Structure 1
Amino acid sequence: MRRLSSQSQKFRLLGLGLLGLVLAFAIALTPLPAPAAPPPATTLETRASVDPLSAGRVYYTSGQFAAAIEQWQTAAQIADQQGDLASQVMSWNGIASAHQALSQWAQANQSIEQSQTLLNNASAPEPILWAQTLNTQASLLLNHTGQAEAALETWQQAEHYYQEAGDLLGTLGVQINQAQALQTLGFYRRARHQLEALDQQLISMPDSDIKVAALRSLGQTLQLIGVPRDSYDALAQSLETARNIGATSDVSSIYLSIAKLAFKLDSPAQALEYFQAAEASALMPLDQLQARLGKLASYINMGDIKSISGVTASIQQQLNTLPPSRTTVYGTINLAHSLARLPHSQRPISNQTINQLLADALQAAKSLGDQRAEAYTLSQLGQLYHQNHQESAALTLSQKSLTLAESIQSPDIISQSAWQLGKLFKQQQQQESAVEAYTKAVTALQSLRGDLVAINQDIQFSYREEVEPVYRELVALLLAENSQASLRQARDVLEDLQVAELDNFFQEACLDLESNPIDQLDAKATVVYSIILDGQLSVIYSQPDQPLQAYATEVDQATLETTLRSFLASLHPSADRPQQLTYSQTLYDWIIRPAEEAGILHSDQTLVFVLDGLLRNLPMAALHDGEQYLIEKYAIALSPGLQLLPASVFSQQDTRAIVAGISESRGRFSALPAVQEEVTTISQLLPSLRLLNHKFTKQSLRQSLSDRRVNVVHLATHGRFSSEFSQTFFLTWDGVVNINELSELLKRRQTDSSRPIELLTLSACETATGDDRAALGLAGLAVRSGARSTLATLWAVKDEVAKQLMTTVYENLGQASLTKAEALRQAQLELLHSDDFADPFFWAAYVLIGNWL
């Protein structure tokens, strides 16, 4: 049995498939070293050897899990007859791992319990046996039941036994696994520190097979926790070490890991280069197959139609020569799925041939006894039949897939099959059945959450193509019903979509969900949910103790996007004011006027917007009814969803603030002269720790936040919000602080009885220009920071304006009767009614996110 964390990664659905927007982070990969001369081809050895323990390993490695179980069961029986404890335990551990691979969780747990029973009844068993057993048990705890804390403790016990056994590779493996558990628990800094320490330890080690394997596993884990640059460095070190010691059997798999990383980073040309190197250096046919499938995906993404035909033929030829295994089944599905993405005229093989590929894969899955592979194949066949307008067959196949996936508790396949069924039922105008199927798909996606961002490369999830549409299509169905029950469900699905988008942004399910009914938050608040659907913009109004109200405006996607982009552009002071009013009134008519005409809005209310898509980048305060701006009538706040909203009322009693800023230029960041006065003035309004220019460093911020009395953090410094996680940050004197680092700084306070941060203010930040989803970065920072409320800017404004508005906001917060939303509104109105800053460009940029009280 392999003891390094590759087993854990395999069962954690780690793969690096076709996830276009998963990590849109441009890193410069170093030049590719020339691959060694291709070694002579070898054949996959799957014949059962005399030793069933070794045969099980061969079958397991080749993806033939049922055959591996059969061999290991034989090995366990022989070992029992011979009184061979070590072989018995290793066999049962292998059986547990194989059952886990087949999603047969009950059998997996029974098998690992058998190993533990044997060890508990033995006198002085070898430490290595306990180490391997605990390693397998921890994998089950994390991947099946999600008990990350128990998994962490179990891996720590396993580490003790590996060290006692003198097994360096096993020790390194479980330390890497512990980092994954820490990351799952939300301890990102601890996870990264552990991996960094391991990296330093590995660098100092002499070159060896252990170093190669550990560095590769480290690289894969670093990618999982969202550190692609460090991931590449570790993989590159693993490759260099393997070449130095002549470990030719490892080179191809390392090239594959780097290629998949490059593909995930949206660099198909670089990915192709590494896939080619992986193919050239492959000793094992399965590595060669994975490399060719990667080449095909790269060619498709690059639009290289000419090269697609050749690599397709080589993949087909190889699949015909390999014995059946999960890897070959998934490889066949991967091929069919990739080709089905192409227009019919560009496919190198016919629809009939693609259909036959999937039929062969289905037969192979059945012969292997691999129900997971069978369910996945049925799902893909259903999609192909639907694409070919064979609805009856598509319905039957999708239902079979769903039934099988539910029986083995595979939510990733459930979500795809149920979605497919929903679309088919919708097409047949079976509304009730469609809603039921879509609801099942969304429930499955919700249960996956964290695994969606690290899904197995063979079960390919693109968030934009295969996750987000499920939520939107269900909302459309529910809004069409227009009953209170359906509107409540639609609202809940919109809340779930907000969470899913932030999970996708962070590339992990890292958000703590709280359910806070609006009537328990604020009796005078109205939550306005917007949703962009096919051919319409819909809005749901939610008020305490009132029925939900929904309104829809029919507008095609092109007109909607043009209007939204034009409105944003018109807010620049140099733009034509009549045009600005035209666009702002159009949006007012779409979003606000129907509710006003229905008489459900009143001037003493706070409007809390849960916005969708491009709407997030727009200032709702600047919508205009023909006579007044929206901010002149209502207090306004933004929310990423009430599931994420901590409920509390702000009080200035005993307030203590950190007021920090940078007024001088730093590298490419320009000077902000008025920041010095802003920091000074606000420091005089609140009891404060003041950090200006060279005193505002990462370390000084960390030390200041250690003051348990601090509950307001005001940062007057450059910052940027982007849909790219890595490009969302704010500036300190000695560098930038990203969302994870800020989260770690504030999370530490949550564990030591410190007061929560009531208000985090970023007074000089902006959203990335030309980034349609940039405001996700703002929402992400607001949520991940742990602050109850975040006050920030959608675009850069004059530092003189920031100084004036921020001063007024803090003065207003000193009035006990004003909420945070009203304090901001009054400050915005002061600018609106001034001579110099009346244009919306100056005051509309400011938004309050989170708790508005």
Structure 2
Amino acid sequence: MPQKIFLFFFMVTLTLIGFFSQKSLSQSEDLKSELTQVQKLIEQGNLNLASYLLEKVSQSGENSYIQAIKANLALAQGDYIRSISIFESLYQQNFGLTERNKENRLALLNNYSQALTERSQIYLALASEELYRRQEFSRAALDDKNHALGLVREAVAQSALSSQQSQIQARLNLGKLDPASFSLEDLEKIKDEIRSLPASNQQVNFWLLLIEIHSSLPLLQEALSIALELNDPLSLTRAWGALAQYYELSGDYKEALTASQQASLAASSISNWEQLAKWQWLSARVYRRLNQPENANVAYRNAVNAVKQLRYSLTGNRVSQALYLDTIEPLLRDFLAFLLNQPSASQETLAEALEILRLGQLSELDNYFGRICEVIVSNEPSLKADTAIIYTILLPQKSYIILRLGNTYHLFELEASSETIKKEALNWRHQIADRFYGDYRPGSYYFYDKLIRPIKPKLALNKISHLIFVQDGILRNLPMAALYDDDKKFLIESFSISYSLGLGGRIVSSRPKSPLVVAASQPSSAFPNPIPAAIDEARNINNLLGGTQLINEAFSPATLLKQLEKPHQLLHIASHSRFSGLIEESLVQTGTQTLTLFEFERILQSRQSPIKRLILSACQTAEGSRYAVLGLAGIGLRSGIDNVIGSLWFSEDKKTSSFITSFYQFWKFNLSEEEALRQAQIEQIRKGTSPIDWAAFVCITP
């Protein structure tokens, strides 16, 4: 459970007896005991066991108390959409208002406001990433914050008739959301009230919440004093960690190191991998400040190992976006900067940097799908002599290319800041997909100059003909085939190109056999534009390769599921699909209904053995999101599919149909997929076709 989330728990009262009217009093008492145990497990961060027990309890039926605890669990897991939905339902039902004491109502108001506050932070993060939806996400973040503020004010107003703890919680929440409302008089009063409480984990939590509003060394020392008195490892790791952060910000690095080491010891004693990762990372930063690079390296590696253990411990559980954004991503990128910003990076250092990059890719997939991607990252495959892998790494201060040739790595620093690269990438991605007003050429030149020119001599020396791009962030959205050199040649004219997540996958080359081709041309509420040429595309493929086709109403989730029971190795979908920066906005259209990405994934995973190839000829990815292409790549990885071919943007359906037919014609005659794609693209170039109609198609492997 993220450190900043302190849940205020619901009181499980004898009102349960009314719901379970056919149960005995002893059975209701047993239920109360089980629900109390679930709440404690959530507080301790043992979310897997809490989820298991809560599911078991729910089998006997549900009432508002069970729903409230489910919302608490969803909040602790970072599933803000689900928690907010349940809290809103309970709020509308006037949950807790009819009780003699208002503890449950206050718990609802406090936790509901916290869920909204957490989601507003996610929207703010998306606003900073997605240029073209910045206003939309900023507005959503502000709406959530204002809604949360209204709930907290309501909690403060109602808290006068409740327990002292409820009053403290409500006022602390208000102080966090509206610091201007928290006067010095309020500060002194609430300090006295916290001191008057008996020593407990809740008292420590209150001190730590107050420190977020008004950080001071005496308050931190009071929190630590209580944690030491309790000798509770979870309270100790939080209190020592907060003290370490204070000393780090104050520039007292020796004290920061001592505190972070104590925080790490406490976290390690209870296998709290999230806390351990945080405090080992803090130790690494402090060691760097103290000019002790060897110790920093050890601490970074300890932090990375904790992240790996954390991923393992979360298997089968929900993954919090806040955990990724606040801890995992900045930790891994900071370690990458440490490794690569050295006078001379050894082969071992570059290999380690790529291992961290792969862990980062996996963690991004976890974050996007909201679940741990349970895949085994294999060792890097051996490369053919004519193949090179190009890794891009965008870091706050500097950005890099690592070029792999055979078993040798070469490091190049990009001569542009990561912010400049991101802005240019967003602009080019927008220009190249704009049929009427876009000018792709400046961006094509720019990215050829930045990404290919520095490595061109080594590519020529080693007679490279196939490039595999493992892109970072927003660069995943770029059509590398459309890079333009000084001789006015597109990159695809010189190299076959594929994309990878860098997780050990490889392109499996063989002829397409017995495909299952499905197509839907009708409009829907999610995709209002019809694509009539999708029917021609499906028939053309069927004429070339045979196999099975499902058209329009014949293409339903049920028929797709049934057909996938057969030994098809290739699934071609000529229908609308969209991969957004938000997983809930990622959709696949069938002839009868629109599927969410999770629903589509469940169909793909229903097979005993996975299909080998998935081709989505009419998909589009959100141009301003670094996560969107992860959805396209991740659906293949999580479903065990070797290769995915998809499009970065939606093109005119007639031109897409013609291009796809040409691709299959080349592929049929013993060319690899990436080479068949290349030949189809070169054919379009020779016809003078704009890149908007051919550059979007990419071949992706794990």
Deviation by residue 1:686-726 (Cα, 9 ceiling, x = unmatched)? 33332323333333333332x32122222222222212111
The alignment status of 1:608 with 2:468, answered yes or no, reads yes
For 1:187, the equivalent position in structure 2 comes to: none
Q: TM-score, normalised to structure 2's length? A: 0.83
The alignment status of 1:539 with 2:539, answered yes or no, reads no
The alignment status of 1:432 with 2:294, answered yes or no, reads yes
Correspondence 1:643-792 to 2 at 5 A? 643=504, 645=505, 649-652=508-511, 654-664=513-523, 666=525, 669-705=528-564, 707-750=565-608, 754=609, 756-792=610-646
Helix, strand or coil: the match of 2:355?
A: helix
For 2:123, the equivalent position in structure 1 comes to: none
Instruction: Measure, in 2, the Cα distance between the counterparts of 1:670 and 1:721.
Output: 17
Instruction: Measure, in 1, the Cα distance between the counterparts of 2:327 and 2:409.
Output: 29
Q: TM-score, normalised to structure 1's length? A: 0.69
* Residues 543 and 238 of structure 1, relative CA distance in 2, 3 Å threshold: same
The answer (yes or no) to whether the contact 2:324–2:363 under 8 Å persists in 1 is no
The alignment status of 1:494 with 2:339, answered yes or no, reads no
Helix, strand or coil: the match of 2:278?
A: helix
Unaligned runs of 5+ in 2: 14-26, 121-143
RMSD of equivalent CA atoms: 3.9
The answer (yes or no) to whether the contact 1:764–1:796 under 8 Å persists in 2 is yes
Helix, strand or coil: the match of 1:714?
A: strand
The alignment status of 1:174 with 2:56, answered yes or no, reads yes
The alignment status of 1:325 with 2:200, answered yes or no, reads yes
* Residues 454 and 333 of structure 1, relative CA distance in 2, 3 Å threshold: farther
The answer (yes or no) to whether the contact 2:224–2:239 under 8 Å persists in 1 is yes
Instruction: Measure, in 1, the Cα distance between the counterparts of 2:237 and 2:78.
Output: 30
The answer (yes or no) to whether the contact 1:638–1:849 under 8 Å persists in 2 is yes
For 1:564, the equivalent position in structure 2 comes to: 425
Choose the corresponding residue for 1:369, options 231, 253, 271. Answer: 231
For 2:648, the equivalent position in structure 1 comes to: 794
How far did residue 280 of structure 1 move? 3.9
For 2:177, the equivalent position in structure 1 comes to: 298
For 1:812, the equivalent position in structure 2 comes to: 666
* Residues 412 and 582 of structure 1, relative CA distance in 2, 3 Å threshold: same
* Residues 173 and 649 of structure 1, relative CA distance in 2, 3 Å threshold: closer
The alignment status of 1:268 with 2:145, answered yes or no, reads yes
For 1:420, the equivalent position in structure 2 comes to: 282
- With 356-365 and 622-631 compared, the bigger mean Cα shift is at 622-631
For 2:685, the equivalent position in structure 1 comes to: 832
* Residues 496 and 388 of structure 1, relative CA distance in 2, 3 Å threshold: same
Helix, strand or coil: the match of 1:717?
A: strand
The answer (yes or no) to whether the contact 1:16–1:264 under 8 Å persists in 2 is no
How far did residue 583 of structure 1 move? 3.1
Helix, strand or coil: the match of 2:368?
A: helix
The alignment status of 1:402 with 2:264, answered yes or no, reads yes
Which amino acid is 2:675 matched to? E
Unaligned runs of 5+ in 1: 1-12, 20-44, 46-56, 58-125, 156-169, 177-193, 203-210, 340-348
How far did residue 174 of structure 1 move? 1.6
The alignment status of 1:841 with 2:695, answered yes or no, reads no
How far did residue 133 of structure 1 move? 9.9
For 2:87, the equivalent position in structure 1 comes to: 235
Deviation by residue 1:167-192 (Cα, 9 ceiling, x = unmatched)? xxx8x75255xxxxxxxxxxxxxxxx
Helix, strand or coil: the match of 1:531?
A: strand
The answer (yes or no) to whether the contact 2:510–2:672 under 8 Å persists in 1 is no
The alignment status of 1:633 with 2:500, answered yes or no, reads no
The alignment status of 1:512 with 2:372, answered yes or no, reads no
Which amino acid is 2:700 matched to? I
Instruction: Measure, in 2, the Cα distance between the counterparts of 1:626 and 1:799.
Output: 32
Instruction: Measure, in 1, the Cα distance between the counterparts of 2:635 and 2:184.
Output: 45
* Residues 566 and 453 of structure 1, relative CA distance in 2, 3 Å threshold: farther
Choose the corresponding residue for 2:240, options 370, 373, 378. Answer: 378
How far did residue 624 of structure 1 move? 2.1
* Residues 375 and 624 of structure 1, relative CA distance in 2, 3 Å threshold: same
Instruction: Measure, in 2, the Cα distance between the counterparts of 1:486 and 1:725.
Output: 35
Equivalent residue pairs, number:
654
The answer (yes or no) to whether the contact 2:347–2:409 under 8 Å persists in 1 is yes
How far did residue 423 of structure 1 move? 1.1
Which amino acid is 2:594 matched to? V
Task: Tell me the percent identity.
Answer: 27
* Residues 534 and 224 of structure 1, relative CA distance in 2, 3 Å threshold: closer
* Residues 826 and 256 of structure 1, relative CA distance in 2, 3 Å threshold: same
* Residues 460 and 391 of structure 1, relative CA distance in 2, 3 Å threshold: farther
* Residues 598 and 496 of structure 1, relative CA distance in 2, 3 Å threshold: same
How far did residue 394 of structure 1 move? 1.6
How far did residue 680 of structure 1 move? 1.8
* Residues 305 and 788 of structure 1, relative CA distance in 2, 3 Å threshold: farther
The answer (yes or no) to whether the contact 1:573–1:841 under 8 Å persists in 2 is yes
Deviation by residue 1:377-434 (Cα, 9 ceiling, x = unmatched)? 1121111111112222222222232233334432222111111111122223322221
Helix, strand or coil: the match of 1:624?
A: coil
For 1:86, the equivalent position in structure 2 comes to: none
* Residues 134 and 362 of structure 1, relative CA distance in 2, 3 Å threshold: closer
Which amino acid is 1:219 matched to? A
How far did residue 632 of structure 1 move? 1.2
* Residues 222 and 464 of structure 1, relative CA distance in 2, 3 Å threshold: closer
How far did residue 602 of structure 1 move? 5.0
How far did residue 549 of structure 1 move? 1.2
Correspondence 1:76-475 to 2 at 5 A? 174-176=56-58, 202=62, 211-221=63-73, 231-239=83-91, 240=93, 242-243=95-96, 246=99, 248-266=102-120, 267-282=144-159, 283-299=162-178, 305=180, 315-336=190-211, 338-339=212-213, 349=214, 354-449=216-311, 462-475=323-336
The answer (yes or no) to whether the contact 1:585–1:623 under 8 Å persists in 2 is yes
* Residues 144 and 355 of structure 1, relative CA distance in 2, 3 Å threshold: closer
